[in-house]
């Protein structure tokens, strides 16, 4: 606990000492949120029509089979209309993940670079960018893999004939996987531009007593920063915006500095 308090105090000192960088970090986070929100709206707004079209076509075919009480081939799956809608849906899914990766790479790359600047005096932008790209590519792929596992797990819990786990357990397990993923992601981003792959897992496992409390604190900050605005917006839109810009996003920016401080502390002994 003393280690956590000393890390928090040191991170706060570095954060306040570079207060001129805080508005820039907040502004970049605002752009990041706007970019992801815009991407969700544009892609899913267009892809939803194709998803509905595919679901309707398959449902009608299944109803035909049920009504005739005979086993028929799902001929609709071979139709030009179905294939066109399917290819369009796949295209929008690929567009979403590709653009989301670029938004994350640029947006998070810049805010983590700023966080590192608050802690370290010398930082090579080129080395940081190359290492951050490699780490983001790895973690983004793992994020997609966990997402697919989670979707299949939830599908099994909801529609399995005799599921061994329920919906609540499946949701808890998926959230737990994301939380563990975030733990190692923050360690690797805190190590950039050092050699991060090996040290990420070594420090994450070996120094969990020092790093896990930091992860819990940053998780609480993120939870409050994302859930409280949903309640504040019901009271007043401007109150919600003020909370996000003046409290939530600066707190998240500080949590990145706290992570870097903690990881550097255990790495340097």
For 9-56, the pLDDT digits (tens) are: 999 999 999 999 999 999 999 999 999 999 998 888 888 877 777 777
Asked if 203 contacts 266 with a C-beta cutoff of 8 angstroms, the reply is yes
Q: Which phi-psi region, left, alpha or beta, contains residue 173 (left: φ > 0; alpha: ψ -120 to 50)?
A: alpha
Nearest to 265 by CA among 211, 218, 193: 211
- 215 pLDDT more than 80: yes
Per-residue model confidence (pLDDT) at position 151:
85
Q: How far apart are the first and last CA of the chain?
A: 17
d(CA 226, CA 249): 10
The CA distance from 158 to 173, in Å, is: 14
**pLDDT recorded at residue 76:** 57
């Amino acid at each position: 606990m003393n280690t956590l308090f000393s890390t928090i105090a040191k991170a706060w000192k570095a954060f306040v000492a570079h207060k001129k960088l805080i508005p820039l970090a907040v502004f970049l986070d605002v752009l990041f949120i706007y970019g992801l929100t815009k991407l969700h709206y544009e892609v899913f707004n267009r892809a939803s029509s194709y998803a509905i079209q595919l679901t309707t076509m398959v449902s009608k075919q299944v109803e035909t089979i049920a009504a005739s009480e005979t086993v028929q081939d799902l001929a609709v799956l071979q139709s030009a209309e179905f294939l066109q809608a399917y290819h369009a849906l796949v295209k929008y899914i690929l567009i979403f993940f590709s653009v989301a990766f670029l938004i994350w790479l640029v947006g998070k790359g810049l805010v983590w670079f700023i966080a590192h600047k608050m802690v370290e005096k010398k930082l090579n932008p080129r080395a940081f960018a190359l290492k951050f790209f490699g780490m983001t590519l790895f973690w983004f792929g793992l994020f997609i893999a966990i997402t697919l596992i989670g979707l299949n797990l939830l599908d099994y819990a909801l529609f399995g004939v005799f599921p061994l786990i329920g919906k609540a357990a499946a949701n808890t397990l998926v959230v737990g996987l994301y939380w563990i993923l975030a733990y190692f992601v923050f360690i690797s981003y805190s190590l950039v531009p050092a050699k991060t792959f090996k040290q990420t897992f070594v420090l994450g496992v070996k120094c969990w007593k020092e790093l896990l409390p930091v992860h819990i604190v940053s998780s609480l900050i993120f939870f409050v920063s994302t859930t409280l605005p949903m309640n504040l917006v019901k009271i007043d839109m401007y109150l919600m915006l003020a909370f996000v810009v003046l409290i939530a996003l600066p707190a998240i920016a500080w949590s990145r500095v706290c992570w870097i401080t903690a990881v550097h502390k255990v790495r340097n002994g």
